[in-house]
Structure 1
Amino acid sequence: MVRVPHRITPLRAFVFLCVAALPASAQDYVGSTECTDCHEAAAQAWEGSHHALAWTQPGPDTVIADFDGTTFSHDGMTARFRRDGTRYMVSVTEKDGSIRETPVHSVVGIAPLQQYLLETEPGRLQSFDVTWDAVRGAWYHLYPDQDLPPDDGLHWTGPYKNWNARCAECHATGFEKNYDPATRGYASTQAEIGVGCEACHGPGSAHLEWAVTRDAPEPAIAPTNYGFTARFETAEATIQQCAGCHARRTAFGAGNPLPGTPFADAYGLALLRPGLYHADGQILDEVYVYGSFLQSKMYAQGVGCSNCHDAHSATLKADGNAVCTQCHSPAGNPDFPSLRGAVYEDPSHHFHEPGSDGAACASCHMIERTYMGIDGRRDHSFRVPRPDLSAQTGAPDACTDCHADKDPDWAAAEIAGRFPDSAHRGPHFGTVLAAGRADPVGTRGPLSALALDRAQPGIARATALWLLEQGGDAATADAVADLLSDPDPLVRAAAAGAQRAAPDQTRVLRLLDLLEDPHRQVRITAAQQLLNAPIARLPADQQAAMNAAMGEWRASVTARLDFPETHLQLGGMALTLRNPDAARGAFREVVTLDPQNVDAWVMLVRIAAATEGRSATSAVLGEALQINPDAPALNQMLQELLP
């Protein structure tokens, strides 16, 4: 690990190419086929599952789309799909007239849609936007409302559709990205495409060694974990393993972490932020389950993924309401003794015709939102509908999802009349977060109270702390300082950010201990908050902790150098360190990867204006406007800087 003195860390040293030691070495993996002889039932359940088919080679058994000379046109682009012997070919005529024909490299998924990956240069895989609807049996475009010419960062050839960077780690086993920032190329590897046995259990070579020697007087591997790195002895361990892919998060490494790695050591979870979640925590963008489930009472009571889902087939353990009534019934479930036994699958509870959509538990308690055009995903916060809060939170409700001709006031009155003694109409963290989004300064008190309320979900408390980071003051930082030792690492990390408003010396003293926190997410956040702290000298042990945490942060940044967002962050850090040359280089990399990133262009113009004079400013602004002629921010700068 690279170590540099904290106070003199130039940005160049910060992004020195150190490697995060998160992925397991490929030789430790043996492949799913090695598991089938001994684990026949599990293997049969897994074969054909969405996990097994998450990424496959093209062939008659995997490709379900029509490649018999079909075409699809959209917004001036035409794609043609044909067979060339055993190859599946895609010919694309772009709206600028350019033509590219490429064989399908590999196949993603099976239902409700199937995508196809094209190799645009050696090692670089791109996810094509024209996709096969497995239900209707037709081609469709994932983004029909967007104008995406070939030079757009969101075009299918751009960085946001790159498979190596954005998707592969959750569709492969033992994946390592291997991005070279000097060439902007990839040499990615994986032990197995698709989510195989070892993607969850860990590399299997030690397990095979144990299996061979298990009857010996002294087995080579202790039988407590059978040679695997992941353990599923608790619901929490299982949840964290699933969450690595079923979460909206930022990865700290450049490939699959070793299965069994705690979530907060491998990822930073996205909080309940605008654009991702509604203020009350309901899903908005595609957030992949984990952040929703953390809000639920089911999670708080110890329910885990495998209580409802079969891990090997990736299907529900029962059909329809039966998956819910295995616990929510008069008989209850002895594994959850605190659960009230009651009749739920009855019109006296749901007030709908038995067997109808309205009588389905999921319709009211797991709202569905559609992503990728046709893929319905359910909200796993398992919430009681609260139309009475819609006016305060701006969030939707399950009732008017179906009764679209009605409004939330009608729904709230109906629920109040049918459940007059309900305990579910009290305060909700969503009203505090909604107010905090609108005015984080004016809501410091309620946000602090929410953050300190350990009866609330950790992700909601952490979100309150994130809002306090935007609008807190020294008194607020004092009020939430105890949360730096909260049991939840998500809260501890957010509490570190909320200390930004504390006086410099106080902030440093409070955050130093977090540099040795058990979880990487907290250590990295502490390092971020101490980047510009006025530290002249530290005792040797604390300096070592500082260097180590900074090294982990450097490694996490290095792992994402193919993301335009990373260089936008690096540019901001360079400005914090008063290094305009490094900032200029970082923002220039952003617009190289994503020419439509107006924020980066604005910063390049400002740096030119501050350091290079009118001629250079005019040149940069002209370059930016040639690509983004209608950008309001750039046109405003033209009036202000070059009148």
Structure 2
Amino acid sequence: MRSKLLPALLLLTTALAATAGQPPQASGDPNYAGSASCAGCHSEQYQAWRGSHHDQAMQHASAATVLADFDNSTFEHYAGRYRFYRDGEQFMVSFTPAEGGEAEQFQVLYTFGVEPLQQYLLPSAGGRLQALPIAWDTLQGQWFDVQGDLQPEPHERIHWRNGGLNWNSMCADCHSTGLEKNYQPTSDSYATQWAELNVGCESCHGPAADHANWQPNATSLRPLPSGQAALTGDQATSCGQCHARRGPLLAANGAEATATARFSEMHYALEVAAPPLYHADGQINDEVFVLGSYLQSKMHSAGITCSNCHDPHSNQLNQPGNALCLNCHEADYNLPSHHRHAPYTPAQSGHPRDYSGTLGNGQLLPEQSLGNQCVDCHMPGKVYMGNDFRRDHSFRVPRPDLAAQYPQLQLPNACGSCHRDRDASWAAAAIADWHGPVRDSHFAEALLAAQAGGDQRPLYALIAVTGGYNQAPPIARATAVQLAAPATLGSELEALLRQQLNSDQPLLRRTGIAALSHLPADYRLRVLAPLLDDSHAAVRLQLAQALSDITVSQLPTADQATFTELQREYRRHLKANSDFPSLRYQAGVDAHRRGELEQAAADYRAALALDDRFNPARYNLAQLYYQRGDRDGATALYRTIVAQEPRAGAARHALGLLLGELGDSAGAIDQLLAAAALNGSGRSWYNAAILQQRSGDASAAQHSYQQALASEPDNRDYLAGLVSLLVQNNRRDEALAAVRAAIARNPYSRELLQLRHQLQQR
């Protein structure tokens, strides 16, 4: 069995993340004036902000800020027993492991959040703060585990003592103002600083020291830097810095990022609306926050922005219930003739949180819904972190017909949020009865058709913005770009992807670059070089990644200085965020592509040290070991993947091939058959058949060859293998029948006709 059968190097595009670490502290950055400096001139806005969720995003732990019961209350957990108590002015947590042993004591330094839950931050080595997973439910008044049924083990990244619940890298950037993470890779420690502990005025309006420090006899204030004064126009640029699922770019590490760079859309790279973060139709699934769904909406396309619905200072809705929607929409939408439920009244009595209250302003759970609220149908939601119900902001028309059409994709539908005893077909029939059988075209139809059946043509139409998808928002087109199969030179898809490089939308330029990154170096240089000085950081860094195997001497002299600076920027990005296993892994991929195998191996191992279950790094490390001739090392790595992920078909396939090379035919066959059962791969069936044939098990080999052909009926390798087996066992007539069946599908194939002739001459 030849080495070319091993899987290719996984060049996944994923978003990466310090001296002994110092405890987090104020930076004293002179560019920031602090929120209190705004109160004198902007009293109304300041008073609205005071006491808001932004104001209370992070606070020093004190009797005034801690909401939980620290009066010797306890919480029993799968891992052990937590006791919450006071030691003078200090708030303490005692943890006793389930397996017994000494109890550990932790001091709570900060509160994190305020409603519907409050978490607590504990100090850890290397300047870290860690978020305790046992949080206080401020609505029910009880302790609970925000991780639910996950039950992570101590070696897993999502365990609360590890990176998944590390404040410095996972939380701080959005819960404090002017955050500088300051991760130091060599010591694996942090010296994190903030300009203001909570989310203050300058988180949204930018550093304001020059604006605030004016002379008493001045006739006017010095204006804020361009674009940092009022949140006008597309406020998603500012709100989306935090209210989005996004990857970090140039992390704020002192001199490596200016205050202006920290305050901009260039601070992050938005994730597209693809699984597993989103459902296959773009509805929210994982904890994606708001921006990604909002950018899918007609509201965003029409110019409706965040402050049309939300007061940006108090964080409350501008009006309760349907009154908010009726600011723009016709009153008929508030009638039972439209929503088909009981009439709406401003305060629905008897609910734990009525629509006129201040506790969330309409954030009712599905079981508290009455069906007559606009948000019930057009903003269904999901509970995250155990008790935090958040709504989908794509404002879409309910489409239970799509959920019924594609049951294998397990799509939610708004009707099912309340009618949990009814299926999607029932809901689709009800909507058709109310509003007729025809639904308006939606980009979700293209995304679903491709993901359900593998038909890429609807994606091509969506990428090109033609036909029924001509109103598709950029994020939908970018999602289609990411979902589309890798392009081949000269294909229709390749032409469509090249068009995205000229888009005025950074998200489309970025996803276009990523989709073309697998093509040959000379092509990438020619097609991507015009973007070297792109104005958007996310695009530039994606470009640097795409060209990470290119040397400066390969570029024209005029572009060399720009390319050199781009690579410096990219390396700063990787270093600043190297506390994320995904970016340590990406550094390894880059080194691997350049042929720097020792560096690549070091980076892959570093990624696994951060997260032992980050198996993309283990896959590539196994491939690297194989390249160097270390088959035993590669085998051990694949065995670990299979042990951690029993349904990892690709790992089982690779392990089977390696075991075959090492002479363990029985083990190889077991792994290849398991891979075939998991991924339906004809190649796994085929390789199992070869080994079964060599082992003398003709019956099993014939079955495997036939399964391979069933998955790819016109694959000549699979047909040749079956014919070889049948001829070897003196079953020429059966071999001839198999060839004739192939000729019936391909009547002009010279290769098949010659094979038939050879069999007839035997």
TM-score by length of 1: 0.86
Contact in 2 for aligned 1:472/1:498 (Cα 8 Å) = no
Deviation at 1:24, TM superposition (A): 10
- Number of corresponding residues: 600
SS at match of 1:235: coil
SS at match of 1:507: helix
Q: Are residue 351 (structure 1) and residue 340 (structure 2) matched?
A: yes
Q: Are residue 574 (structure 1) and residue 563 (structure 2) matched?
A: no
Select between 149-158 and 610-619 the one with higher mean Cα deviation.
610-619
Distance 2:612 2:54 in 1: 35
Deviations 1:261-286 (A, max 9, x none): 67542211100121111121110011
Deviation at 1:467, TM superposition (A): 2.1
Deviation at 1:621, TM superposition (A): 7.3
Deviation at 1:469, TM superposition (A): 5.5
SS at match of 2:535: coil
Partner amino acid, structure 2, of 1:494: T
Q: Are residue 427 (structure 1) and residue 441 (structure 2) matched?
A: yes
Partner amino acid, structure 1, of 2:422: K
Distance 1:627 1:89 in 2: 38
Deviation at 1:609, TM superposition (A): 4.1
Distance 2:638 2:172 in 1: 37
Corresponding residue for residue 367 of structure 1: 380
User: CA, structure 1 residues 571+24, in 2 after alignment: closer, same or farther (shift >3 Å)?
Assistant: same
User: CA, structure 1 residues 257+269, in 2 after alignment: closer, same or farther (shift >3 Å)?
Assistant: farther
Distance 1:232 1:293 in 2: 21
Q: Are residue 304 (structure 1) and residue 334 (structure 2) matched?
A: no
Corresponding residue for residue 294 of structure 1: 295
User: CA, structure 1 residues 510+168, in 2 after alignment: closer, same or farther (shift >3 Å)?
Assistant: same
Distance 1:433 1:631 in 2: 25
Which of 222, 229, 232 is residue 230 of structure 2 equivalent to? Answer: 232
SS at match of 1:359: coil
Which of 471, 477, 485 is residue 455 of structure 1 equivalent to? Answer: 471
Corresponding residue for residue 613 of structure 2: 596
Deviations 1:46-105 (A, max 9, x none): 111000000000111110100011111111321111000000001122345464211001
User: CA, structure 1 residues 106+535, in 2 after alignment: closer, same or farther (shift >3 Å)?
Assistant: closer
Contact in 1 for aligned 2:532/2:563 (Cα 8 Å) = yes
User: CA, structure 1 residues 426+253, in 2 after alignment: closer, same or farther (shift >3 Å)?
Assistant: same
Distance 2:302 2:98 in 1: 54
Corresponding residue for residue 278 of structure 2: 277
Q: Are residue 74 (structure 1) and residue 82 (structure 2) matched?
A: no
Corresponding residue for residue 450 of structure 2: 436
Root mean square deviation, CA, Å: 3.0
Distance 1:364 1:60 in 2: 41
Q: Are residue 482 (structure 1) and residue 499 (structure 2) matched?
A: yes
Deviations 1:452-505 (A, max 9, x none): 215211001011111235355531212342221112111121222233466653
SS at match of 1:437: helix
Contact in 1 for aligned 2:463/2:496 (Cα 8 Å) = no
Select between 597-606 and 347-356 the one with higher mean Cα deviation.
597-606
Which of 381, 405, 409 is residue 394 of structure 2 equivalent to? Answer: 381
User: CA, structure 1 residues 630+410, in 2 after alignment: closer, same or farther (shift >3 Å)?
Assistant: closer
User: CA, structure 1 residues 279+468, in 2 after alignment: closer, same or farther (shift >3 Å)?
Assistant: same
Deviations 1:218-237 (A, max 9, x none): x683xxx346761336321x
Deviations 1:116-152 (A, max 9, x none): 0110225200111111111111111112312323222
Deviations 1:420-462 (A, max 9, x none): 286xx1332222222333566x41x322220121521100101
Distance 2:556 2:286 in 1: 45
Q: Are residue 313 (structure 1) and residue 319 (structure 2) matched?
A: no
Partner amino acid, structure 2, of 1:281: G
User: CA, structure 1 residues 546+450, in 2 after alignment: closer, same or farther (shift >3 Å)?
Assistant: same
- Describe how 1:114-133 pairs up with structure 2 within 5 A: 114-133=118-137
Distance 2:210 2:65 in 1: 32
Q: Are residue 546 (structure 1) and residue 544 (structure 2) matched?
A: no
Distance 2:28 2:249 in 1: 17
Which of 484, 496, 499 is residue 468 of structure 1 equivalent to? Answer: 484
Distance 1:305 1:503 in 2: 43
- Describe how 1:598-617 pairs up with structure 2 within 5 A: 598-611=615-628, 613=630
Distance 1:397 1:257 in 2: 44
Partner amino acid, structure 2, of 1:449: A
SS at match of 1:176: coil
SS at match of 2:48: helix
User: CA, structure 1 residues 357+620, in 2 after alignment: closer, same or farther (shift >3 Å)?
Assistant: closer
Distance 1:92 1:409 in 2: 49
Which of 528, 538, 545 is residue 511 of structure 1 equivalent to? Answer: 528
Corresponding residue for residue 86 of structure 2: 83
Contact in 1 for aligned 2:487/2:516 (Cα 8 Å) = no
Distance 1:325 1:172 in 2: 35
Select between 31-40 and 319-328 the one with higher mean Cα deviation.
31-40
Deviations 1:202-242 (A, max 9, x none): 12211113464532xxx683xxx346761336321x22100
Q: Are residue 38 (structure 1) and residue 41 (structure 2) matched?
A: yes
Corresponding residue for residue 27 of structure 1: 30
Partner amino acid, structure 1, of 2:482: W
Corresponding residue for residue 246 of structure 2: 249
Select between 531-540 and 504-513 the one with higher mean Cα deviation.
531-540
Deviations 1:256-314 (A, max 9, x none): 97468675422111001211111211100111100111111110011110111001101
Q: Percent identity of the aligned residues?
A: 38
Contact in 2 for aligned 1:230/1:261 (Cα 8 Å) = no
User: CA, structure 1 residues 148+349, in 2 after alignment: closer, same or farther (shift >3 Å)?
Assistant: same
- Describe how 1:175-214 pairs up with structure 2 within 5 A: 175-210=179-214, 212=216, 214=218
Distance 1:438 1:500 in 2: 26
- Describe how 1:404-419 pairs up with structure 2 within 5 A: 404-419=420-435
Distance 2:539 2:381 in 1: 33
Deviation at 1:25, TM superposition (A): 8.0
Corresponding residue for residue 108 of structure 2: 104
Segments of structure 1 that go 5 or more residues without pairing to the other structure are: 1-14, 18-22, 330-341
Deviation at 1:156, TM superposition (A): 0.4
Partner amino acid, structure 2, of 1:447: L
TM-score by length of 2: 0.73
Partner amino acid, structure 2, of 1:89: M
